């Protein structure tokens, strides 16, 4: 499958291409699926860091479609890792829903760098949903002793059973059911966040929801709470539609 202009740009930026092979599948919930894959030599070439992601290529009616996917439990020695998918409509979910052992998928690695803040922040504040869960888990595992509050937006009853990797001694979960295209999450976070931002310069905020929600909350914490931009990571994972 050709990759169009996006593939050309990534190649010019020295993106590295790999082919992954599915070895095992697991149904976590009705709307959440985990795949185990071999890495095609990727991890030996790139190394591993927290929240590491790759661009995977899927077919969308004959056209290339890319999606960024965060690695779960990467094992460089074995050359394996897992991917987790919150299942909805779209080429990536469609592929993940039907993938079986032996299936292959192409991927490109470029620009995935993330460094754990040094020194560590006094508090970690995370806003995400099930689509961002692999990155959220990797982030929490990278700072297990830092006090953290997670607002997790859910869409389905089974989302309460998704695999969260919290340290009970330091991490708190606040579940928010998705309503009004994310407006409920925005209201709750705005109401609860200020009391937790004791020192804007010593707080780290990670926001990974739908694009509109992410943009709204990122603007709020930067302008209203005066959190420095280097202490805020904000990335919209998907675009909401009228059917969501």
CATH number, domain with residue 153: 3.40.50.80
Question: Which of 83, 109, 135 is where one domain is finished?
Answer: 109
pLDDT given at position 61: 87
pLDDT given at position 3: 52
Which is nearest to 22 in space by CA: 87, 99, 84, 78? Answer: 99
Domain span holding position 219:
123-234
Residue 32: phi and psi, rounded to 5, are -145, 125
Long-range contacts at 164-170 (CB < 8 A, ≥ 24 apart):
164/133, 164/136, 164/137, 165/137, 165/140, 165/141, 166/140, 167/140, 170/144, 170/145, 170/146
CA 213 to chain centre: 15
Summarize the confidence of residues 197-221 as an average pLDDT: 96
pLDDT given at position 4: 54
Which is nearest to 86 in space by CA: 53, 129, 54? Answer: 129
CATH number of the domain at 94, please: 2.40.30.10
Task: Give the torsion sign (CA, 181, 135, 85, 56).
Answer: positive
**Are 206 and 124 within 8 A, CB to CB?**
yes
> 89 and 28, same structural domain?
yes
Rounded CA-CA distance 130/120 in Å is: 26
pLDDT band at 192 (very low <50, low <70, confident <90, very high): very high
Summarize the confidence of residues 217-244 as an average pLDDT: 84
Question: Which of 109, 133, 157 is where one domain is finished?
Answer: 109
Q: Residue 11: pLDDT above 70?
A: no
pLDDT given at position 62: 87
Q: Residue 9: pLDDT above 70?
A: no
- 26 is a domain residue: yes
Q: Residue 12: pLDDT above 80?
A: no
Rounded CA-CA distance 88/111 in Å is: 26
**Are 81 and 37 within 8 A, CB to CB?**
yes
Element (DSSP H or E) covering residue 8: helix 4-12
Rounded CA-CA distance 201/204 in Å is: 8
- 241 is a domain residue: no
pLDDT given at position 110: 76
> 151 and 105, same structural domain?
no
Query: Which of 15-19, 71-75, 141-145 shows the lowest mean pLDDT across its residues?
Result: 15-19
> 190 and 143, same structural domain?
yes
> 131 and 100, same structural domain?
no
Question: Which of 109, 142, 175 is where one domain is finished?
Answer: 109
What's the number of domains the chain is made of?
A: 2
Average pLDDT of every residue of the chain: 90
Residue-wise pLDDT tens digits, 66-102? 889 999 999 999 999 999 999 988 899 999 999 999 9
Summarize the confidence of residues 108-136 as an average pLDDT: 90
CA angle centred on 137, ends 93 and 235, rounded to 5°: 65
Summarize the confidence of residues 145-163 as an average pLDDT: 93
Element (DSSP H or E) covering residue 94: helix 91-98
Place of tokens 């689509």: 131
> 105 and 131, same structural domain?
no
Place of tokens 């607002």: 151
> 8 and 102, same structural domain?
yes
pLDDT given at position 64: 87
pLDDT given at position 104: 97
> 154 and 207, same structural domain?
yes
- 244 is a domain residue: no
């Amino acid at each position: 499958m050709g990759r169009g202009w996006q593939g050309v740009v990534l190649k010019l930026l020295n993106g590295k291409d790999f082919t992954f092979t599915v070895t095992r599948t697991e149904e976590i919930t009705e709307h959440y699926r985990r795949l185990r894959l071999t890495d095609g030599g990727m991890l030996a070439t790139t190394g591993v860091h927290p929240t590491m992601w790759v661009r995977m290529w899927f077919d969308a009616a004959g056209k290339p479609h890319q999606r960024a996917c965060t690695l779960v439990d990467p094992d460089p020695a074995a050359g394996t890792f897992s991917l987790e998918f919150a299942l909805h409509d779209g080429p990536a979910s469609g592929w993940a829903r039907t993938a079986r052992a032996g299936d292959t998928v192409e991927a490109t690695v470029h620009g995935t760098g993330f460094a754990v803040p040094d020194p560590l922040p006094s508090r970690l504040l995370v806003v995400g949903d099930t689509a961002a869960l692999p990155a959220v888990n990797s982030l929490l595992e990278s700072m297990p002793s830092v006090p953290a509050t997670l607002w997790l937006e859910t869409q389905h009853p089974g989302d309460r059973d998704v695999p969260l990797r919290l340290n009970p001694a330091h991490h708190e979960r606040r579940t928010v059911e998705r309503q009004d295209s994310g407006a409920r999450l925005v209201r709750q976070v705005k109401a609860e966040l200020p009391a937790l931002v004791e020192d804007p310069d010593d707080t780290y905020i990670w926001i990974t929801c739908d694009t509109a929600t992410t943009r709204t909350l990122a603007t709020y914490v930067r302008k209203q709470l005066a959190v420095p931009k280097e202490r805020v990571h904000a990335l919209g994972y998907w675009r909401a539609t009228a059917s969501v």
